[in-house]
């Protein structure tokens, strides 16, 4: 059974991707670079470049979907705030940074208005600091 998300345990790691595949690509890259340095030739440089390309592809395979996910979270949280925030805070929704919105997604509906006001008034920017203030965690099980 999956553990319940909390501030301490909300990062998502897929072992086969984050550990196994990344390890294979990094070992391959290091090996290919060593071979290209020891035996400089086109025959060793091309595999080194290919290994570097695989590492870049691995990085972007994760980075692009996370970026799209962050855009969707931003939209979801703006809509959620339109529904939950008091009237005096609604005009300030545009003041939230994407990082603040991403962090606030973990706050429960009951906690969101007061926490949103605090984040804006105290100019709390760091996602980690905002997440640490959340008392009632709202899990996000659909994240990439």
pLDDT digits (tens, 9 = 90+) for 33-91: 999 999 999 999 999 999 999 999 999 999 999 999 999 999 999 999 999 999 999 99
Task: Say if 138 falls within a structural domain.
Answer: no
Please report the pLDDT score of residue 52 as a whole number: 98
Within a domain: 9: no
State mean pLDDT over 97-108.
Answer: 95
**Is 68 among the domain residues?**
yes
Question: Which pLDDT score is estimated for 49?
Answer: 98
Task: Tell whether 58 is covered by a domain.
Answer: yes
Q: How far apart are CA 19 and CA 12, in angstroms?
A: 12
DSSP 3-state of 18: helix
Measured CA to CA, the distance from residue 70 to residue 143 in angstroms comes to 9
- 85 within a domain of the structure (yes/no): yes
Bridge partners of 107, per DSSP, are: 137
Q: Which residues of 60-91 are buried (b: 16+ CB within 10 A; e: fewer)?
A: eeeeeeeeeebeebbeebeebbeebbeeebee
Tell me if 78 is assigned to some domain: yes
Q: Determine the structural domain holding residue 104 and report its residue range.
A: 15-133
Total length of the chain: 144
How would residue 1 be classed by pLDDT, with cut points 50, 70 and 90? very low
Give the C-alpha separation, 90 to 56, whole Å.
41
Instruction: Note whether residue 67 is domain-resident.
Output: yes
Task: Write the CA distances from 18 to 33, 69, 111, integer angstroms.
Answer: 22, 18, 33
Count of structural domains within the chain = 1
CB 120 within 8 A of CB 97: no
Give the predicted TM-score (pTM) of the model. Answer: 0.74
Flag whether 118 is in a domain. yes
């Amino acid at each position: 059974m999956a553990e319940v998300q909390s501030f301490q345990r909300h990062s998502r790691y897929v072992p086969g991707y984050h550990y196994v595949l990344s390890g294979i690509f990094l070992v391959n890259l290091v090996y290919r670079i060593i071979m290209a340095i020891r035996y400089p030739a086109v025959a060793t440089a091309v595999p080194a470049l290919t290994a570097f390309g695989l590492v870049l592809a691995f990085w972007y395979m994760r980075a692009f979907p996370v970026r799209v996910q962050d855009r969707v979270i931003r939209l979801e949280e703006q809509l959620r705030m339109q529904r939950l925030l008091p009237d005096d805070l609604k005009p300030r929704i545009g003041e939230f940074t994407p990082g603040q919105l991403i962090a606030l997604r973990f706050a429960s509906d009951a906690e969101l208005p007061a926490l949103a006001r605090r984040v804006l008034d105290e100019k709390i920017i760091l996602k980690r600091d905002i997440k640490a203030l959340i008392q009632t965690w709202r899990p996000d099980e659909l994240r990439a």
